[in-house]
Amino acid sequence: MGHHREPVPPSREPNHPVSEAPRSTGLQGVLALPEFRKLWLGQIFSQLADKFYIVLMVFLIAQYWVTETLPADGAIAEAAGAFRFSIDSRAQLITLLATGIYVANTIPAMVLGLVAGVWADRWRKREVMVASNAIRAGLALLAPLSLLPGPEWLGLSWGYWALLVITFLESVLTQFFAPAEQAAIPMLVPTRQLLAANSLYQATSMGATIVGFALGDPILRLLKYGLGTIGIANGEFALLPLCYGLAALSIAWIRVDETPQQDREQTVWQEMRDGIQVLRERPSVRSALLQLVLLYSLLAALYVLAISLASAIQQLGPTQFGTLLAMSGIGLAVGAVAVAQVGHRFNRRRLASAGLGTIAWSLVLLGQLRGNLTATLTLCAVLGVGSALLAIPAQTTIQEDTPEAMRGKVFGLQNNLINIALSLPLVLAGAVVSRYGLLPVLWALAGLALLAALLERPWERC
């Protein structure tokens, strides 16, 4: 299959600090691991920076490139017309320009994961994580240059196009950071504590998403006007380099004995094939990866369906759909903590089945009880709990059952597939709901989740 080294069984890997590990398998035990704590702290700062980045881009678009006078003609109006996108209001024009940022951020996530994973396996994981965060901090320092006057292209300042390029490069670096980070967790955490470590990561990721998007704009405004009062202009640009820099610093302090692969006889393409070969040879890894792809497809569809669900609730309306997503995030965080504390007592196949069944049940009831605020919020939270029951055991299985020398490749492929799973439903769900209605779509998604739960055969002895 290639020339990579025979993997060391996970329970005896030299990088596991087993002798230092406490006996606890819950959150307290995994947080007692000093090297993992540094990685976790780096994750917090890096995740916050990623969310603050998107908020900053929208903030800059609104502040500097979308004036009160809307373009009646010109390249922007033509582009909006070509995509049947209305720009009758300032908010719609901001949305159109922000879409460009989203696209620049998404393209590397959809195509580069496996390639980046190959290089993450060739290099030391700590160095990959430190370098990617440090370079992202440097790129963020270039953002203020976009405000300088200069030529226009297609009716927009050169600065907007420069931000698209910076966003693209930031996303490219993220594709190197993500597989290296996931592959580093089993190196720093004993096998019996991986479930708790992944639970903590899921809860932190969801918390960073909620905090980053909810508090990003107020924090940027506080920096802009607060630092402005003491004579420091453009203070909003200080946030991203600070967060990425702190992430790099925290990870740089990790002590881990890691030897990168010395074998260079294989090409990148051969190593990519080796990563895919792992899925063929290890059914547990393949099954867990398919579960994650299904989960993120369902969650992405929910992002779109939340608008219709919120529209049916008199107290919310379509613009408050974020409230429903926030409740799902809270449920996922609560579920993650629960899995961390007691998940090791249960078989992972049954946890996955319970998660898929909970998701299916929630989707059916969301359709039946739509319009009821309390019921909808509760069911969104329950759906989040079900997501945690599925995602965390699946992620842990991939970490445990993937050979150490192949982890970067497999996690890179995972990032590819998950980002595609997140993107396609965003495009398709709205059109399908417009044609068939909300209820049939919710039932179809519930049926898909239930079928996946039955395929796990939870009634068999594990």
Is 13 within 8 Å of 186 (Cβ atoms)? Answer: yes
Q: In terms of pLDDT, which residue wins out, 343 or 197?
A: 197
Q: In terms of pLDDT, which residue wins out, 196 or 150?
A: 196
* CA neighbours closer than 13 Å in the CB half-sphere of residue 128: 26
Is 129 within 8 Å of 174 (Cβ atoms)? Answer: no
- Interatomic CA distance for residues 209 and 399, integer angstroms: 23
Q: Is the predicted pLDDT of residue 430 greater than 70, yes or no? A: no
Is 365 within 8 Å of 400 (Cβ atoms)? Answer: no
> Average pLDDT, whole number, for the chain?
81
Q: Is the predicted pLDDT of residue 16 greater than 50, yes or no? A: no
Structure-derived torsion over alpha carbons of residues 186, 187, 191, 197, reported in degrees to the nearest 10: -50
What's the burial of 344, exposed, middle or buried (CB within 10 Å: 0-12/13-18/19+)?
middle
* Residue whose C-alpha is closest to residue 2's, from 372, 405, 391: 405
| H runs (alpha helix) in 61-111 | 75-82, 90-111
Domains of the chain: 25-194+205-262 (1.20.1250), 271-457 (1.20.1250.20)
**What is the pLDDT at residue 68?**
47
Element containing residue 152 per DSSP (H, E): strand 152-153
Tens digits of residue pLDDT in 328-340: 888 988 999 888 8
Structure tokens given for 11: 């329970």
Tens digits of residue pLDDT in 29-72: 889 999 999 999 999 999 999 989 988 888 888 877 766 444 44
Compute the average pLDDT of residues 323-327.
82
Q: In terms of pLDDT, which residue wins out, 94 or 355?
A: 355
**What is the pLDDT at residue 278?**
84
Tens digits of residue pLDDT in 161-216: 999 999 999 999 999 998 899 889 988 999 888 888 888 888 888 788 778 877 88
